[in-house]
């Protein structure tokens, strides 16, 4: 059984401030080590539970956070950007399940460092009328390939908003959000133990877990960060303007929607 572990950094225990998530910042050097250790905890739990092959996708920022020489030697690392399928890089129907480690709540929610894809570009996102964060968007992408999400970790707000999407998923809450830049966190050690236990337990639900199913065509709606972002995004003829900050488009599949959203995210750099 091949497992994909998708790793972000905002939901890692001890991470509460944007400096901890920015490449090149001294605080990020510590946080990326915690992220690597939480990835390793999930890798360990997956193998404990019977996985035969584990791939780890580095899926924060420039996708170059995890420390390759500190990653569990049994795992394969997917890193670097841009890449096909974005955060779910490497995924195919060959995988038995996906695990989401270090995830965060969706944009405009009350979770630690909550955002959706790119906080400088987007405020909120809906697919077929359902508001989704990154776990929902990429969980639907995995679902389109028949791959269920069986384990996820992050703060309590992330867990609460994500649980209804993945009824069989085993969650590990790494911290309790106090505010956008504040949390009551587990220690890194305790967080890793919780993640390893959740990953191991998740391997036992794999056969009953349902992939998140979303039927195409996909109606995608985005709330841009500012009207200027909406002006920019709507230069793309496939997008319709709904109001000052809201736009929508139709995509043939979740994969196409993800690809368009990631292109818009890259375009947003023009307004920085
Ligand atoms: Zn991130």
Q: For residue 133, which of 170, 162, 112, 99 has the smallest C-alpha distance? A: 162
Residue 148's CB: how many other CB atoms inside 10 A?
23
* pTM greater than 0.75: yes
Whether 186 shows a pLDDT value over 90: the answer reads: yes
What's the gap in Å between 160 CA and the centre of ligand 1?
18
Distance 149 CA to ligand 1 centre (A): 18
Structural domains of the chain, ranges and CATH numbers in brackets: 2-122+132-202 (3.40.50.10780), 218-271 (no CATH)
Task: State yes or no: pLDDT of 177 exceeds 90.
Answer: yes
Question: 159 C-alpha to center of ligand 1: Å?
Answer: 16
Residue 14 has a pLDDT of 98
What does the pLDDT look like over 40-50, one tens digit per residue? 999 999 999 99
Residue 111 Cα, ligand 1 centroid: separation in angstroms? 13
Q: Which of 128, 166, 171, 133 is nearest to 148 (CA)?
A: 166
Q: How far apart are CA 203 and CA 89, in angstroms?
A: 21
Count CB-CB contacts under 10 A for residue 235: 8
In tens, the pLDDT along 130-146 reads 999 999 999 999 999 99
Distance from the alpha carbon of residue 36 to the mean position of ligand 1, in angstroms = 14
Distance 262 CA to ligand 1 centre (A): 14
pLDDT at 272: 85
Confidence of residue 57 (pLDDT cuts 50, 70, 90): very high
Pairing verdict, β 240-241 and 246-251? antiparallel
Pairing relationship of beta strands 76-78 and 53-58 according to DSSP bridges? parallel
């Amino acid at each position: 059984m091949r497992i994909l572990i998708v790793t972000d950094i905002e939901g890692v225990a001890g991470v509460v401030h944007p400096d901890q998530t920015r490449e090149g910042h001294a605080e990020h050097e510590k946080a990326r080590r915690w992220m690597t250790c939480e990835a390793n905890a999930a890798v360990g739990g997956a193998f404990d539970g019977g996985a035969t092959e584990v791939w780890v996708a580095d899926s924060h920022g420039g996708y170059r956070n995890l420390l390759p020489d500190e990653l569990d030697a049994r795992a394969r690392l997917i890193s670097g950007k841009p890449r096909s399928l974005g955060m779910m890089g490497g995924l195919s129907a060959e995988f038995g399940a996906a695990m989401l480690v270090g995830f965060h709540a969706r944009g405009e929610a009350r979770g630690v460092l909550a955002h959706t894809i790119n906080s400088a570009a987007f405020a909120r996102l809906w697919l077929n009328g359902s508001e989704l964060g990154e776990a929902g968007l990429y969980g639907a992408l995995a679902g389109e390939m028949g791959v269920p999400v069986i384990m996820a970790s992050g703060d309590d707000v992330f867990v609460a908003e994500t649980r209804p999407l993945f009824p069989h998923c085993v969650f590990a809450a790494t911290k309790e959000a106090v505010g956008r830049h504040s949390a009551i966190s587990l220690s890194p050690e305790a967080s890793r133990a919780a993640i390893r236990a959740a990953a191991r337990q998740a391997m036992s639900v794999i056969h009953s877990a349902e992939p998140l199913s979303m039927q195409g065509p996909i109606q995608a709606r985005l709330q841009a960060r500012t009207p200027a972002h909406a002006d920019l995004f709507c230069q793309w003829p496939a997008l319709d303007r709904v109001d000052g900050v809201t736009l929508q488009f139709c995509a043939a599949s979740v994969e196409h929607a993800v690809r368009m959203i990631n292109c818009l995210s890259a375009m947003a750099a023009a307004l920085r």
